[in-house]
Structure 1
Amino acid sequence: MKTFLKILLTALAVIVLANILPGVTVEGYTSAIIVAVVVSLLNMFVRPLLIFFTLPATIVTLGLFLFVINAIIILLADKIVDGFAVSGFFAAFFFSILLSIFRSALFSLLKEENKSIKN
């Protein structure tokens, strides 16, 4: 249940960011949900491999190269999902940063709800 709610919150963030950022488009709610699932799967399976193979660049840049890896994940999602389009690297870069911020804020609200239910 919690995973399903996180995917829906991520889809909501994708829709909001697609309306705010130029260069990012989502055709509908179904595409946004598919983007949320694909980004979650890419973060689960591909991101660790990218981090491993680019570890020297990540160390030299003191971790800032992880932002580039996040943008690559968004560009991969663009190639996989038909109803989702990103115009270029910098659009994906800003989209990934803002998506991370939105997801953190939305997931923290989810954690607050769980704490109040347990008490």
Structure 2
Amino acid sequence: MGFLIRLLVNALALYLLTLVYNGVRFAPGADVVGVILAALVLGIVNALIRPVLLLLSLPVNVLTLGLFTLVVNAVVLWIVAGVTVLDVAGFGAAFIGAIVLAVISWALDAVIGAVGLDGKRA
């Protein structure tokens, strides 16, 4: 149940990102299945590719006191856009989109936690 809720929260966050920021959008004609598939791919890329990118960029990340993680998040969003119906206007749009997506996901996670749908006991 937790995986399904997490998937739906990611899909909602991606959808809200496309409403809030014009640099990231879904391809014309994209349906709910495309949005959920993009959220699934985002989860897979975050679980498999992002740790490798963070490990490879560790020296730069240490030098920038962790700010290079924002660039890694932009690369992750760009990868997801490359294989799904998500369209990103460029790397700058991916960078800003990744920041906005992080804020939206954080807010949605807080709401899900406050409502009690995260499965954790209060």
So what's the TM-score if we normalise by structure 1? 0.90
* Structure 1 residue 60: Cα displacement: 0.4
CA RMSD of aligned residues (A): 1.9
Match of 2:87 among 78, 85, 88: 85
Task: Determine if the alignment matches structure 1 residue 107 to structure 2 residue 98.
Answer: no
Letter paired with 2:103: I
Question: Structure 1: any 5+ residue segments left out of the alignment?
Answer: none
Residues in 2 aligned to 1:31 and 1:97: alpha-carbon distance in whole angstroms: 22
Who is 1:29 aligned against?
32
* Structure 1 residue 86: Cα displacement: 0.5
Who is 2:58 aligned against?
55
Contact 2:23 2:97 in 1 (8 A): no
Letter paired with 1:66: T
The Cα offsets for residues 79-104 of structure 1, whole Å up to 9 and x where unpaired, read as: 111x2110101111111111111111
Question: Structure 2: any 5+ residue segments left out of the alignment?
Answer: none
Who is 1:2 aligned against?
2
How many residues get paired? 118
The Cα offsets for residues 10-55 of structure 1, whole Å up to 9 and x where unpaired, read as: 1112112112212211123222111111111111111110011110
Contact 2:46 2:76 in 1 (8 A): yes
* Structure 1 residue 71: Cα displacement: 0.2
Structure 1 stretches of 4+ moved >4 Å: none
Provide the identity percentage: 30
Residues in 1 aligned to 2:49 and 2:21: alpha-carbon distance in whole angstroms: 25
